[in-house]
Amino acid sequence: MTRRWEPLESGQVADIIKSKKLLEELVEFHWNYYSELAFQRRKIREYLNNSLRTPAVSFQFSGWQRVVKYKYSLDPLGIDGSLSDPGGRFNIGAIDRARYPMFPALYLASDKGTALAEVLGREKNSEGLKPEELALTKATSISAVSVSGNLESVLDIRESAHFSAFVALIKTFKLSKALASQARRLSVPLQLVRSAVDLKMVLMMETWRNWPMLYDVPSASQIFGGIAVDAGIEGIVYESALTKRPCLAVFPQNFQNSSAYVQLDDPAPSGVVQTRIDSTSVAGRR
C-alpha cells in the first residue's frame, strides 16, 4: 500500500501529528513482529545452529578485495566500521544496544569493481552505468587492498539447498492473532519464510536497511548473520545484490579455536595496525 506523505512546509499540524503517530505505531508493530519470531527461534536455538553447521565447508580465497573509507586506511582489516548504525547486511550495528547485541563482520568482494559498488554504489543507476562504474563517479576518499585467506567453516547461501534444513525448522513459525490484527489495521503485509527460495530472497533484499533505519529492528539478513555467528560459522558467501558477483562476510570473532586467517596480500605501510587476522590476533578486538 502506498501512503501519501505531505511536505512539512505545506501540511497541516494535524497531518504532522498523524504521521508521527503512524510512525510510532509502525515501530511498535515491527518490535512486536521481531519479538514473536525471536521467541520461537530461541526455543530451537541449538537445532537452528546445527542446521547451519552441517552444510558449512572450508573456503579458500586469494586476491579478493577489501574497500574501506579513507579514515580506516591504517586499519584495512578493522571491523569497527561494521558496528556503525545500522551495521552491515549480515551483522548488527548500533541499532539499539539495549535490545540487540552488536556483532561485527569483515566484508570482502571477489573483485575490485564489486567491492567499490558495495561500499559506494548504493544509488539506482539512471545513466546506464554499471554499479561499479557508478561507484567510480563518486569523489569519496577510499582505500582498496588485496586480501587472501582460509576459513574452516563457511556457509554459501548462493545455493538454496544449503539452508533447506534451516527452513524446515522455521517454516512452522506462527504469529499471534493480535499481531495479525495490528498488521491489518496498519496495512502491513505479514510474510513468513516457508521455503528455501523465500529465505534466499529475503536475505538478498536490496532494501534490507529499511528495517533498522525506519523501525529500529534488525533486518532478516542481520538476524540470520547472528544465528550463523552463534553457530560458530566463520563466514557467509553471498552474491552481491549490485553486481551479482561473489562477496564474503567474515566473522573473525569465531577464529578463536580455528586455523582460519585473513591477511593482506601486499606489503603494508609502516603505520598499518594489522596485516593479518587469525586466532592469535582476534583477542582484544571487538
How would you write the pLDDT of the chain (286 residues) with one tens digit per residue? 344 444 444 455 455 556 778 888 999 999 999 999 999 999 999 999 999 999 999 999 999 999 998 888 999 999 988 999 899 999 999 999 899 999 999 999 999 999 998 988 755 555 665 665 555 556 678 899 999 999 999 999 999 899 999 999 999 999 999 999 999 999 998 889 999 999 999 999 989 999 999 999 999 999 999 999 999 999 999 999 989 999 999 999 999 989 999 999 999 888 888 999 999 987 545 4
Q: Which pLDDT value is given to residue 13? A: 47
Position 214 in a domain:
yes
Asked if residue 180 belongs to a domain, the reply is: no
| Contact call for residues 93 and 85 (beta carbons, < 8 A) | yes
Residue 19 located in a structural domain: no
150 inside domain: yes
9: in domain = no
How many domains would you assign to the chain?
1
DSSP strands (E only) in the chain: 57-69, 87-88, 91-92, 106-109, 142-156, 235-239, 246-250, 261-264, 276-277
Give a yes or no: residue 29 inside a domain: no
Tell whether 51 is covered by a domain: yes
d(CA 266, CA 59): 21
- Specify whether the CB–CB gap between 153 and 258 falls below 8 A: yes
Inside any domain, residue 97 = yes
User: What are the grid coordinates assigned to 121, written together?
Assistant: 554504489
Domain with 268 in it: 45-174+191-277
What's the pTM? 0.87
Whether residue 86 has a cis bond before it, omega within 30° of 0: yes
C-alpha pair distances (Å), 94 with each of 82, 112, 209, 257, 281: 9, 28, 13, 27, 24
